[in-house]
């Protein structure tokens, strides 16, 4: 029996529908095999956050590192610069020496009790020398009167005195006690200049302030909010400031020398260095006079030197 025209049309439509369904199935299978669909359990990507937001370039957490990379590897496709230092955090001075320092209160053996104070009292001061400098003992190291305590025999210009790491000297034992340092009388820090040459290297103002005292062998600068800095052992005959003068941060104060005098004017021998002291002030009540307390500026100077080397 022959089919009618309507039956033929229905048969043709059904055939075409079957072909279309087969084509759709084939395309879908290819799409899934290529990973175009999320795997089971994957969270859908939200329209609220783009892929760029998910992993910022400066991320440093563990989940910012792809699973197939180890910490320190460059991201796939990136080549690290040929001149990239092995330790990106290492800071070097003008001579190429890597800056390092020992903890606050960590003095040489037998040199005094020390005073552990990790406070950075002023966060934006200028380091008080123009050139690279070295914090360590003038008494218990090479060339010092008590260098033999730790077998450090030699002269003050020994190259080992002019290298890192820095070492704290606050509350180092001296020939007298001080209230803040029972058993150790050194209420300041000794800073060697860039070299042991006398009257060559400049000490500079740590902050804006006013020169409130110039006498014997020290210069005192006070900031508008009361912090006091003492600079000792400068060349007092060639200062660049005078009492009552206003100074700006970074202004030259004087050249680092070895001037040291008793109250009667008698000269006392010492090494070429800057003895640096810092007083912080506080007011107990709004109507009270400010009280000035000497503090250990070691970590304050560490932070300032770090900024100096970063040229900030």
Read off the pLDDT of residues 128-183 as tens digits, 9 standing for 90 and up. Answer: 999 999 999 999 999 999 999 999 999 999 999 999 999 999 999 987 777 778 77
Q: How many CA atoms lie within 13 A of 272 on its CB side?
A: 22
What integer pLDDT is reported at residue 281 of this predicted model?
A: 79
What parts of the chain have a pLDDT lower than 70? 1-89, 282-284
Distances (CA, A) of 238 to 34, 123, 267, 277: 81, 30, 17, 21
SS3 call for 29: helix
Q: Give the phi and the psi of residue 31 in degrees, each rounded to 5.
A: -60, -45
As a whole number of angstroms, the distance between CA 302 and CA 164 comes to 12
Supply the pLDDT for residue 46: 30
pTM: 0.70
Note whether residue 187 is domain-resident: yes
Pairing of strands 218-222, 291-295: unpaired
Task: Supply the range of the domain harboring residue 198.
Answer: 134-310
The answer to whether residue 145 is domain-embedded is: yes
CA-to-CA dists, residue 38 to 30, 32, 45, 67, 151, angstroms: 14, 9, 10, 19, 71
Cα–Cα distances (Å) from 307 to 8, 92, 124, 220, in that order, read 89, 12, 9, 24
Which of 226, 227, 219, 273 is closest to 251 using CA atoms?
Answer: 219
The number of domains in the chain is: 1
**Is 6 part of any domain?**
no
Nearest to 234 by CA among 254, 262, 210, 204: 254
Looking at the domain assignment, is residue 178 inside a domain? yes
Element at 293 (helix H, strand E): strand 291-295
CB distance 162 to 244 below 8 Å: no
The per-residue pLDDT for 253 is 98
Say if 195 falls within a structural domain: yes
Answer whether residue 196 is part of any domain: yes
Q: Can you give the CATH number for the domain in which 183 is found? A: 2.70.70.10
**Cis amide prior to 165 (ω within 30 degrees):** yes
Residue 84 lies in a domain: no
pLDDT for the residue 176 = 73
**How is residue 149 annotated by DSSP?**
G
For residue 36, the model assigns a pLDDT of 41
Whether residue 160 is contained in a domain is answered as yes
């Amino acid at each position: 029996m022959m089919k009618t025209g309507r039956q033929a049309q229905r048969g043709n439509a059904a055939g075409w529908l079957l072909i279309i369904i087969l084509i759709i199935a084939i395309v879908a299978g290819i799409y899934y095999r290529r990973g175009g669909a999320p795997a089971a359990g994957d969270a859908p990507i939200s329209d609220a956050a783009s892929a760029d937001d998910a992993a910022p370039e400066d991320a440093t957490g563990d989940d910012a590192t792809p699973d197939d990379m180890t910490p320190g590897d460059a991201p796939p496709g990136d080549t690290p610069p040929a001149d990239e230092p092995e330790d990106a955090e290492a800071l070097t001075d003008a001579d190429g020496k890597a800056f390092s320092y020992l903890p606050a209160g960590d003095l040489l053996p037998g040199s005094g009790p020390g005073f552990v104070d990790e406070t950075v009292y002023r966060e934006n001061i200028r380091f008080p020398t123009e050139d690279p400098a070295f914090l360590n003992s003038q008494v218990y190291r090479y060339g010092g009167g008590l260098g033999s305590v730790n077998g450090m025999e030699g002269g003050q210009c020994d190259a080992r005195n002019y290298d890192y790491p820095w070492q704290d000297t606050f509350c180092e034992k001296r020939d007298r006690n001080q209230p803040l340092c029972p058993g150790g009388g050194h209420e300041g820090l000794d800073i060697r200049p860039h070299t042991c040459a006398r009257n060559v290297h400049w000490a500079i103002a740590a902050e804006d302030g006013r020169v409130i005292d110039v006498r014997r062998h020290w210069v005192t600068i006070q900031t508008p909010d009361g912090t006091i800095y003492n600079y000792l052992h400068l060349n007092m005959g060639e200062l660049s400031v005078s009492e009552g003068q206003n100074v700006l941060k970074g202004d030259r104060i004087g050249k680092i020398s070895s001037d040291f005098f008793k109250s009667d004017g008698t000269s006392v021998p010492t090494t070429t260095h800057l003895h640096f002291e810092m007083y912080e002030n506080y007011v107990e009540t709004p109507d009270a006079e400010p009280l000035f307390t000497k503090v250990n500026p070691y970590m304050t100077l560490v932070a300032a030197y770090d900024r100096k080397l970063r040229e900030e």
